[in-house]
Amino acid sequence: MNIRIKIGYWLIAFVLVLLCMNNCTDDSYLIDGGTSDPNFDGTIMEFLQSRSPENDPKNDYFSDLVKIIKLAGMEDVVEKDNITLFAPTNWSIRKSMDFLNRVVYQSGEDSVKYLEQVNPEVWKEFLSMYIIEEKYRLRDIPQIDTTAIAAYPGQTYISYGGVPMNAGVVYGDANGVKYVGPRQILYSYIYDITVSDMRNAYVATSDIQPRNGVVHVIRLTDHDFGFDKYSFTIRAMQEGIIRSSQTNKE
């Protein structure tokens, strides 16, 4: 082989090694958003409102959540308390509302068109599950491995509604090596502690930091508001669907 070609191969190999070393020592991938600034100069409520259609029509993630917070009478909690909010998006809320509508329709009643038609106490009960006191970033939450729960159980937290919830960080695998890959928060409702039955919600974006706490955004596609659309529907129907013509449709 020509000596110049050999030297060329060695130079390419050397560059590849340097690139690999650089990538392996860069841990910015551990938190969604890479090295972008996680801080938001405002309250948690203001952050949610900034991702609503009035401020950003192309990024309407939380307009339903903002409305639910108001209906539940929990604005002060989201504005003033030091909390961690696991924020469900419009898609999660609408999935549970769609299921409620199917059940209501099958029972022979008119469909539920507005969030305001669900009793405020129901919204407060389920919304409270997504809020825990104090500030917990990804690095503050212990590891969880759902295949080795005894060794890595995450941690139980009591939500604002007094419901036990579990939060843990899932450590992904990389190149066949356990626990060295990307990390993702798993937030779960402990449905039945006696049989370790948990209803899970994966966080898509973590560690957004407004002035009064932390926001972790729950993944869009596979989460039903309330962690169980059946329980949400049962409670909404138990409390009665509001049919008054005075329903506020802000």
Instruction: List Cβ neighbours of 249 (8 Å cut-off, separation of 6 or more).
Output: 114, 116
Lookup: tokens for 34: 């890479």
Tell me: the pLDDT tens digits for 176-205?
A: 999 999 999 999 998 775 556 889 999 999
Place 249 in a pLDDT band, splitting at 50, 70 and 90: low
Q: Which of 45-54, 67-76, 94-103, 160-169 is the least confident region? A: 45-54
Residue of 69, 31, 41 lying closest to 217 (CA atoms)? 31
How much is the pLDDT for 23? 37
Residue of 18, 13, 38, 40 lying closest to 28 (CA atoms)? 38
Tell me: the pLDDT tens digits for 81-129?
A: 999 999 999 999 999 999 999 999 999 999 899 999 999 999 999 999 9
How much is the pLDDT for 22? 37
Place 66 in a pLDDT band, splitting at 50, 70 and 90: very high
Q: HSE of 137 in the Cβ direction (CA atoms, 13 Å)?
A: 11
What Cα–Cα distance (Å) separates residue 197 from each residue in 146, 166, 175, 218, 223?
Answer: 11, 11, 31, 20, 16
- Taking residues 4-30, report their average pLDDT: 36
On the question of pLDDT at 226 being above 70, the answer is yes
Strands (E), 138-241: 155-158, 164-171, 183-192, 197-208, 213-218
Place 134 in a pLDDT band, splitting at 50, 70 and 90: very high
